Amino acid sequence: MTEDLVGEILESVNLHRTFNKDTPHLIINANQVLSSHQVEGLIMEPEELPDGVRAKLRVKKGVKIGSPVHLCFGLLPERGVQHIIMDIEIEDEAEVSFMAHCTFPNAVDVEHRMEAQIKVGRQAKYSYFERHWHSDEGMVKVVPVARIELEEGAHFSTEFELLKGRVGLIDLDYRTTCQARSSAEMKARIFGRQDDRIQIREAAHLIGEGSRAALTTHIAVKNQARAEINNEIIAEAPYARGHVDCKEIIQDSGLARAVPVVEVRNSKAQVTHEAAIGSVDSKQLQTLMSRGLSEEEAVDLIVEGLLS
């Protein structure tokens, strides 16, 4: 039974043929831990809750986890709530990358909440790639919240991708505090359709000298989908550097709003931002159409590029 569920979850994220049980992983369906595997230096302590799972993940000091740690969070029934609480600590000089898949392939009325506390130690490296797989019904509510602390020289990168199926509602809120010479890169790529709602708040607070942050959000909305992006970088230390990049393509009656906030409190710091919102670039469109693509094919290719 459990193996069947593991198989179903892996198949829904297209990993059923390639997944290796010996890779470090944690697979969860609703509030049930279906499978996990640790490797030396990586400690995972999942605990089942009535409506989800609380998991402590720790990478010991100086340990470099060679292959990505796979995290699969699924909710296979049509309805339900999944609450994931993550407490992650990457100790000094450790390195780890996560490949996370969140899958709700049959969702009719599903809510997925994720609360993460992430601490990345001195000179440690943490990367997290999160891909969402939703049904075409759009009745998924995704609320990921993360608070991230980067110690001196730490590197943190996260990438959130939601391109397959309907978004439903996403309300993402990631905030990072960066100590000296640490760096944070946060990216989100989302395609909203029908009446999807997308709300993104990414923030980096550069409090240490020479700390850096880059916040990148690329969104496409079509039909009546709406997106609101509120990205913020505050730099208050010398030589802190930040950049906010927000690009949104709207089609049909889609609506997009971007509010980049940049605040500099130190004369030796610098933060830049760029935001571009609009329909598909006419020159790009005409170039592809002059090669024989229909307008629809050309738009699809341009959007695919933006979200790649």
* Binding region for another protein (CB under 8 A): 218, 247, 281-284, 286-295, 297-298, 301-302, 304-308
Ordered DSSP codes for 85-110: EEEEEE-TT-EEEEEEEEEETT-SEE
Q: Whose Cβ is closer to another protein: residue 21's or residue 291's?
A: 291
Q: Whose Cβ is closer to another protein: residue 76's or residue 307's?
A: 307
Q: Whose Cβ is closer to another protein: residue 142's or residue 302's?
A: 302
Q: Whose Cβ is closer to another protein: residue 96's or residue 188's?
A: 188
Burial label for 296, CB within 10 Å (0-12, 13-18, 19+), is exposed
Paired with 187 in beta bridges are 159, 216
Shortest distance, CB of residue 194 to another protein, whole angstroms? 23
Shortest distance, CB of residue 281 to another protein, whole angstroms? 7
Shortest distance, CB of residue 277 to another protein, whole angstroms? 14
Shortest distance, CB of residue 219 to another protein, whole angstroms? 13
* CA 150 from centroid of its chain's CA atoms: 17
Shortest distance, CB of residue 189 to another protein, whole angstroms? 9
Reduced to 3 states (helix: H, G, I; strand: E, B; else coil), residue 28 is strand
Q: Whose Cβ is closer to another protein: residue 69's or residue 249's?
A: 249
Q: Whose Cβ is closer to another protein: residue 252's or residue 295's?
A: 295
Q: Could you give the CA distance from residue 162 to residue 226 in angstroms, rounded to a whole number?
A: 15
Sequence-distant (≥ 6) Cβ neighbours of residue 219 within 8 angstroms: 188, 189, 190, 191, 192, 198, 200, 227, 229, 246, 247, 248, 249, 256
Shortest distance, CB of residue 294 to another protein, whole angstroms? 5
Reduced to 3 states (helix: H, G, I; strand: E, B; else coil), residue 179 is coil
Shortest distance, CB of residue 279 to another protein, whole angstroms? 13
Sequence-distant (≥ 6) Cβ neighbours of residue 204 within 8 angstroms: 175, 176, 177, 178, 184, 186, 213, 215, 232, 233, 234, 242
Shortest distance, CB of residue 111 to another protein, whole angstroms? 31
Query: Cα dist. 303→6, 25, 35, 201, 248 in Å?
Result: 33, 32, 36, 22, 10
Residues 213, 203: contact at Cβ < 8 Å?
no
* Strand bridging mode 79-90 / 109-120: parallel
Tokens at 106, concatenated: 């049959």
Q: Whose Cβ is closer to another protein: residue 198's or residue 302's?
A: 302
* Strand bridging mode 140-150 / 109-120: parallel
Q: Could you give the CA distance from residue 56 to residue 28 in angstroms, rounded to a whole number?
A: 14
Q: Whose Cβ is closer to another protein: residue 253's or residue 294's?
A: 294
